[in-house]
Structure 1
Amino acid sequence: MGHHHAHSGQGHHGHDHGHGAGNEKAVGIAAFLTGGFMLAEVAGGLVAGSLALLADAGHMLTDFGSLLLAWFAFRLARRPADWKRTYGFDRFSVLAAFVNGITLFAIVAWILVEAVRRLLNPPEVSGGLMIWIAVAGLLVNILAFWVLTREESDNLNIRAAALHVMGDLLGSVAAIIASLVIIVTGWMPIDPLLSLLVALLIVRSAYKVVVESGHILLEGSPRDLDSRQIKSELREAIAGVVNIEHLHVWSITQERRMATMEAEFSAEADPAAVKQQIKALMAERFRVGHVTIEIVGRVSENA
């Protein structure tokens, strides 16, 4: 029996280019704000002798990198698919997230080593200078967070960028607390202790980024999908579907889900109509926008 292939009728991306341009601009502004203040924070941390400020600057460096990569991914996603890259460039953002997550671990390792050294031999920290820089950092982060979240967006690049900036907000708050404690009590160990807290926040977000992006790069199924459930629902919900085998579900990005399957239809079924019903159910129920269906058999219901 001949094989039949059916692809979803959707275009390659289905992006809202107007909204994408808005997201690109928001990420670009947030990257400019974060990168500009990061340089000021490094200088201030070195002058004030504050590891909390340097740790927060390290966090801002990774966030600047991730925002820059997110911005570049929006730019790159504009390019159409070609014969070499038939899926286009969407997955660049996932690869960028994976690389960014790995570099976060290196920065955390540096913060941990430096924090231990400073706990064993606490240096003098200028609490007065430190608090001004930390407050300025908090204001910059609030502005960047507002730029990213002023319009509702389901885009994962935007959501991830906003989470990174929220981490910076927490780092600035930690630096403010450390500077206040130093000004009031003169207790220097608070600076490396709070830098350790910032490092733990970085590790937590880095681990999630690496695991999620690695899962996509390894063609893992989206975590909310169970292939057994999909097979069962297709058989039960669509008349004419006798059996579904070799079902593979993966994603190009977290937003672009793909599926292939082999299907056995009843002899009485209209193949074209049943394939359209399968694609409609996959899109509406499981948010899978591109489905390839191969018909491998027709079974008579009276057999």
Structure 2
Amino acid sequence: MPLPPQVTDLTSFDLLLSVARLGSIGQAATEHRISQPAASARLRHLERRLGLTLLQRTPRGSALTPTGALIADWARGVVDAADSLAAAVQTLRSSHESRLAVAASQTIAEYLLPAWLVALRARQPELTVTLQAANSTEVAARLLAGNANLGFVEGPDLPPGLDADTVATDQLTVVVAPAHPWARRRRGITPAELAAAPLVSRESGSGTRRALEAALREHDIDALAAPLLELSSTTAIKHAVAAGSGPAVLSSLAVSTELAAGTLTAVPVNGLALHRLLRAAWPAGRQLTGPARDLHAIAARPERS
């Protein structure tokens, strides 16, 4: 049942209590950080709404009428309860804003998020962050289930129910062991050759694999060969490739060290665009607030893209 309109404006009742305690509309106005004319107008409006005279002028200021004193006594408990409610809400909000749950796809979690989180903790040392690294499909599921405040994904598309924007770009690179035949292909390979080769790859829900499949569809190639190996981590894939098991397609962020050291070799793919967008994602229709908003701002800084 809705509250009667006569009692919904608790600010005016709180102002009345201040007049009762301080004995002056002017002092009450100062306490409430409003002008004296505004305070007088608010109290007159309260009197009209209640249909009662609450204040009377005296040589020393303003005093409550007997009716006003009775109303003030009744209002005191309600205003105190409202103050307690506001304090409880603020405590709960502060507790929520001191924790941040992040879900991120493997490449972002391993190679980008650590620096972003260091920057966030520099701003908010008291913040507790939990990070769940998963493939892009699982990240989306965690966001939709309410198990993460903010997510970061690598895949080319998102399920309904999520909003997203781009925070960085990435380039996929075909890598092989230095002894692999492709390592000697100075002119690179064709998209068809890549699609026909059994790859050491991530599982089907990974953003890297989905981005590769989307790029190949641009060349009317609808399917990859059956994987040579399916491994759950980028590190495991790199070790398998370096050991000579077969080629892989990985983020340039993930293989820069190995390419520089010569333990892996990059193979060009002629005519195949292997860049992708890295995106922040969150439940559709919601605004990012608190630490989630701050982390998003750090990730989206121009120098990071």
Give the TM-score band, short-chain normalised: under 0.3
Kindly name which structure, 1 or 2, has the bigger radius of gyration based on alpha carbons: 2
Which of the two has greater helix per residue?
A: 1
Calculate the TM-score normalised by the size of structure 1: 0.27
